[in-house]
A and B are shown apart, each in its own frame.
Chain A
């Protein structure tokens, strides 16, 4: 935590106080956070920060910051990771991963190198594969079910610290 706070402080030394006795209501804007080396190259960095920020706007208080790092750490339980992964991929925060979300994910992932048809095809396939209640979008149950079967989800994905 100390180290984390050190880093938190580092990012904006003039904004973040070292003691929280007086001015406890400090938040860092997204721009600062996503420039951290851990997140800098991540295509979902904005989403990550947003889904961890309490106000949904992308500014992180230190609590959110700690949350983020603990969820992204190696030791975080799979379920927790799944929850946050779901939140990250759920771009419009409607608690479903719908086609629009998938398209955004794809575009971010591939840096918009795929053609429109390819994207729609992939989205359709994803939904076809993982959607189990047949509502045309992925709920959290679908997502978790799918992700828990992925062999390398825990190993590679989502470990940042």
Chain B
């Protein structure tokens, strides 16, 4: 609901959760479980027993809760549990299997860091790869945001709502960016403001660091002076740290308002500052702690020395001073006391046994308490817990109660609470993500000293996730400036990586610098923690391995290896740089190409304008355009679209062309047959074009028909477009005459007509099929054009259609004979037949045609049926009828029919299978149909006419035919749904 930003927060949270689970499993499986199962049982050793004098108070809830105060004897069960470093035993091998716990502890501690590093880097690499892949230039930002925004898959209202909100956000973002670009800046003011803001931020950072240091110091002093600390005093440090982490970001936000940066930069700055603040907090805390550790370790060494000395010389003075030194654990004091001790030792004063016993008892207790690793771990855990408490409290107080107040008090308040001051809490993604990062940093910092910290963090994250999501959903409003999270995703990860590195440093430093506490933990008694590794290698591995290791670790190997690594890094970096360079270049190339594209489009548009001026020139230009565009399929819509201004004229002209093409067929035939069937309406221009087309057709008939349809289409268009002079008309007629096929066919026709009988229908059926196919192809081709336009054209050019109708009607009565003629010659083209038909029509039945104009309207009525041909399966007759009507439809309602036909693209392929006889002719007719757009109309009409004819004049054969046709139509029906399905698939 709150867009991708909030989602990204939760995704990040979930990811962190996953990491913590893995860390928990690692520590749990390799450290905690073995210790619990095979380690020395509770109370068996000194470090695992609760001091007797504190065992009663350990039950106290307060002590468990507060985890004890520092430097005072620490008690409570938690301290002596697997939670902390101090619990783990120092035996090199535990259990029957000889599990090397100290080694495992060390290795797991390191593995936690290594794993975190690896998984972080992996994630970052993946993210950057994704961002690179999806990087697109910003040329069409707004367009894409507008037109491609909606996800058409969205089906449920909530998703739709959130999507709408996301779209609003993204648009707002784009607007903001745009405004930022435009904004004129008053440099002096902004710079001064920014300087002030930065100073403020630095001051607050310094202040927070100082406060933390002060608090830690004060707590130390308090512990020194006071015996019993209150709850507040015990937890002062972590509370203060948490408070600072909560308050400072808001202060930074206020400061950031001064700066007037671009919102995204503001976000970055804010994040960077808060990160610095968090780091400063953690560092000052850890430094203060380590400082304490430092003093503690000195104390420990001193006490050890003192114990020895007391064993030797148990003097009254000495013991007294010793007591003093233990109660006041300050280094300087100790030193002083030591000096005095030595003095007293020199004096050789006597000692009482009882006092020695006393000191011994205190000394047994002392080192156990002063287990600095446990102490650091405790501090971290405490910090983490208090941080959690504060988070929950802030969610409840700041978000929930504020939300409640605003919601219910706004009715009875003097101003609108919902829109003015308190408002609803905003969900600040950046701060929240940073808080997560900070939290994780704490975990990393403390993980080595408190192996169960990750486990605790897992619980914390679970709770936080659900609480957060609940709070967000119930009482937060989306952040006002929403910036997409995906872009800053890597930024968060980078911060996390930074945090990891910085949090690792103190741990590493502590491991390397400090001597492990002598009385507790797995590394007690060793000089350095990492000695465990070398010790293991020396003792437990074979000798050869040891020598190999020494060789490897010698500078002879290490230095070249380092050099090699550096070289490798350098090489990879240079490669990356070059890749980036080429990437940029490619992008530039794309950009320039796009601008060129734009220019081209403009040029085309201009060319179109010029075309309009002279009709004669237009066709050539158009052909140019056609040649430019690779496929007719894609070009046609574009053509129509881009020249929208001139749309209607152009379309008209093309329309006229097509009409003329349809007419020509009649015209040449008329020429041959003497009586001119061309109606009065046909103009001179119409007659010229047709001749061309028919010539073209004739030519095409001889050309192999195997060309791809697109080529044919464009070619035909070309031919159509060229206005031939009137001379060609005559030429064409000559062509027709000279054509052997034509002659032949005509000659053959006559005998056939004389002996006409049963063959008529045999022949007819195939033809109908053929025409149908033609029709399909044709319409398919037509469908390339945007359908709406087609419709319009047709409506505009209705007179043209009427013109066409004349010949058809005329033909109607004659059709039969030509078909009879052609049935025996399957190889003949539809073209020739048509012309022949027309010849016959013109010759014999011309007078009748006028009277038979009436049936035409009837076809129009039948339009609708076309669509339902697909559906109805039951009645053959119905099929028959509707089928015929369908053809008529093609003519009358082109968009309708064409669209549908377009779906049934594969039709021609299906068809031939059903016909055995006339396959060849079918293919030929295919090519023809592609070639001329008007043909199919005629043919369809012919088809129609035939049917009608048979019905009326020859009832018997008609029924036969009907049956046959019903078969055909059934085929069609079968095939068409298939096609539809295919197209859907």
Q: Which chain B residues numbered 937 to 985 have a C-beta less than 8 Å away from chain A?
A: 977, 980-981, 983-985
> Which of B175, B633, B634 contacts A118 (CB under 8 A)?
B175
Q: Is the CB of A21 within 8 A of B152?
A: no
The answer to whether A109 and B981 have CB atoms under 8 Å apart is no
Give the distance in Å from the alpha carbon of A62 to the alpha carbon of B867 in the complex.
8
Q: How many residues on chain B are close to A (CB under 8 Å)?
A: 72
Find chain B residues with CB under 8 A from A75 CB.
Answer: 983-985
List residues of chain B with CB within 8 A of the CB of A152: 144, 148
Once the chains bind, are A159 and B171 in contact (CB under 8 Å)?
Answer: no
Name the CB-closest residue of A to B139: A129
The closest CB in chain B to the CB of A159 belongs to B152
- Which residue on B lies nearest to A93, using beta carbons? B788
B786 at the interface (CB under 8 A from A): yes
Q: Which residues of the other chain, A, contact B140 by a CB distance below 8 angstroms?
A: 129-130, 146, 149-150
* A126→B142 contact, CB < 8 A: yes
The size of the chain A interface, using a CB distance under 8 A, is 74
Q: A28-54: which have CB < 8 Å to B? A: 37-38, 40-44, 54
Contact B601 A133 (CB under 8 A): yes
Give chain B nearest CB distance to A53 CB in angstroms: 12
Contacts of B644 in A (CB 8 A): 95-96, 139-140
Asked if B46 lies at the interface with its beta carbon under 8 angstroms from chain A, I say no
Cβ–Cβ contact B900 & A151, under 8 A: no
CB 8 Å contact bits of B866-907 with A (1 = contact, 0 = none): 011011111100100010000000000001100110010000
Q: Chain B: which residue is nearest A85 at the CB level?
A: B147
The answer on a CB contact under 8 Å between A145 and B146 is no
Contacting A at CB under 8 A, from B141-163, are 141-144, 146-157, 159-160
| Chain B residues, CB < 8 A from A156 | 148, 151-153
Cross-chain contact B637 with A83 (CB below 8 angstroms): yes
Residue B553 is within 8 A (CB to CB) of chain A in the complex: no
Q: A109 CA to B165 CA in the complex, in Å? A: 9
B597 / chain A contacts, CB cutoff of 8 Å: 145
Bitwise, A117-154 to B at CB < 8 A (1) or not (0) is: 01001100110011011110001111111110111110
Q: How far, in whole Å, are A111 and B359 apart by their CA atoms in the complex?
A: 81
Complex Cα distance, B983 from A147, in Å, reads 23
Q: Which of A38, A72, A132, A149 contacts B601 (CB 8 A)?
A: A132
CB atoms of B786 and A106 under 8 A apart: no
CB-CB under 8 A from B502, the residues of chain A are none
How far is B977's CA from A123's CA once the two chains are assembled, in angstroms?
43
Question: How far, in whole Å, are A75 and B984 apart by their CA atoms in the complex?
Answer: 7
Which residue among A66, A86, A133 has the maximum number of chain B CB atoms within 10 Å of its CB?
A: A133
In the assembled complex, how far is the CB of residue A72 from the closest CB belonging to chain B, in whole angstroms?
7
Contacts of A105 in B (CB 8 A): 146-147
| Residue B864 CB within 8 A of the other chain | yes
Contacts of B867 in A (CB 8 A): 20, 24, 61-63
A102 to B602, CA, bound (A): 22
Q: B591-625: which residues lie under 8 A (CB-CB) from chain A?
A: 594, 597-598, 601-602, 605
Q: Which A residues are in CB contact (< 8 Å) with B143?
A: 126, 129-130, 146-147, 150
Do A72 and B152 have beta carbons less than 8 Å apart?
Answer: yes
Which among B167, B641, B871, B896 is the interface contact of A110 at CB below 8 angstroms? B167
Q: How far is the CB of B672 from chain A (nearest CB, A)?
A: 41
Q: Given A1-B981, A41-B157, are A20 and B871 neighbors across the interface (CB < 8 Å)?
A: yes
Contact partner of A106 among B146, B638, B645, B647, CB < 8 A?
Answer: B146
Q: Looking at the complex, which one of A114, A139, A142 makes contact with B168 (CB distance below 8 Å)?
A: A114
Could you tell me if A86 and B980 are in contact, using CB atoms closer than 8 angstroms?
A: no
A87-B873 Cα distance, complex, nearest whole Å: 34
Q: Given the complex of chains A and B, what is the CA–CA distance between A145 and B638 in angstroms?
A: 9
Given contacts A54-B896, A141-B641, contact A19 B150 (CB under 8 A): no
Question: Which of B160, B174, B602, B899 contacts A133 (CB under 8 A)?
Answer: B602
CB closest residue in chain B, given A97: B147
Contact A145 B154, CB 8 Å, known A62-B871, A129-B140: no
Q: Which residues of B contact A109 (CB under 8 A)?
A: 146, 149-150, 164, 167
Q: Can you list, as one digit per residue, whether each of B453-481 has a CB less than 8 Å from chain A (1) or not (0)?
A: 00000000000000000000000000000
Given the interface contacts A19-B871, A42-B152, does A1 sit within 8 Å of B900 by beta carbon? no
A125–B605 CA distance with the chains assembled, in angstroms: 22
A119 to chain B, nearest CB (A): 9
B53 on the interface (CB 8 Å rule)?
no
CB–CB B984/A134 < 8 A: no
Choose one: A38, A67, A85, A159; the contact of B899 (CB below 8 Å).
A67
Is the CB of B738 closer than 8 A to any CB of chain A? no
Report how far A141 CA is from B142 CA in the complex, Å: 17
Decide: B146 and A1 in contact? CB cutoff 8 A: no
A79 touches B633 (CB 8 A): yes
Residues in B whose Cβ lies below 8 Å from that of A158: 152
- CB-defined contacts of B605 to chain A, threshold 8 Å: 133, 141
Residues of chain B with a CB closer than 8 A to A99's CB: none
Task: Tell me the smallest distance from the CB of A126 to a CB of chain B, in Å.
Answer: 5
B709: interface (CB < 8 Å)? no
Q: Is the CB of A140 within 8 A of B637?
A: yes
Q: Which residues of B contact A111 (CB under 8 A)?
A: 164, 168
- B277 CB–A CB distance under 8 Å: no
**In the bound complex, do residue A159 and residue B641 qualify as a contact, i.e. CB atoms below 8 Å apart?**
no
Q: How far is the CB of B515 from chain A (nearest CB, A)?
A: 60
* Cβ 8 A contact of B164, one of A21, A102, A110: A110
Some 5 contacts from A to B, beta carbons below 8 A apart, are A1-B980, A1-B984, A83-B786, A140-B644, A156-B152
Instruction: Give 4 A-B pairs besides A79-B637, A109-B149, A143-B641 with Cβ atoms closer than 8 angstroms.
Output: A72-B152, A75-B985, A96-B644, A129-B141
Listed from nearest, the 9 A-B pairs whose CB atoms lie closest are A140-B641, A141-B642, A20-B868, A41-B160, A125-B142, A24-B868, A63-B867, A160-B152, A20-B871
